[in-house]
Amino acid sequence: MKRKRIPKYAIYLMILVIIFFISLILTSMDSREFDKSDINVYFCRLDDCGSIINELLIYSNSSIHCAFYSISDADILETLNEKNKKLDVKVVVDKSENTVFQFMKPIESKGIMHNKFCIIDNDEVITGSYNPTENHDENNIIIIKSQELAENYEEEFEELWNAEEGKKTKTPIIKMGNITLESYFCPEDSCAEKINEKLIAANSSIYFMAYSFTHPELATTLVLKSKENIIVKGVMEKSQNSEYSKYDLFRYQGIDVIWDSKPWLMHHKVFIIDNETVITGSFNPTKNADENNDENILIIHDKEIAGLFLKEFERIRKK
Give the active site residues.
Answer: 267, 269, 274
Strands (E), the chain: 39-43, 63-68, 88-94, 104-107, 116-120, 124-128, 140-145, 173-176, 179-186, 205-210, 231-237, 256-260, 269-273, 277-281, 295-301
Nearest to 189 by CA among 278, 281, 309, 65: 281
**Rounded Cα distance, 295 and 190, in Å:** 10
**Rounded Cα distance, 78 and 144, in Å:** 24
Using an 8 Å Cβ cutoff, are 105 and 161 in contact? yes
Using an 8 Å Cβ cutoff, are 67 and 73 in contact? no
**Rounded Cα distance, 124 and 144, in Å:** 6
| Contacts for 11 with CB less than 8 Å, ≥ 6 apart | none
For the CA atoms of 120, 116, 260, 233, what is the dihedral angle to 10 degrees?
A: -80
| Contacts for 13 with CB less than 8 Å, ≥ 6 apart | none
Distinct helix (H) and strand (E) counts, the chain: 9, 15
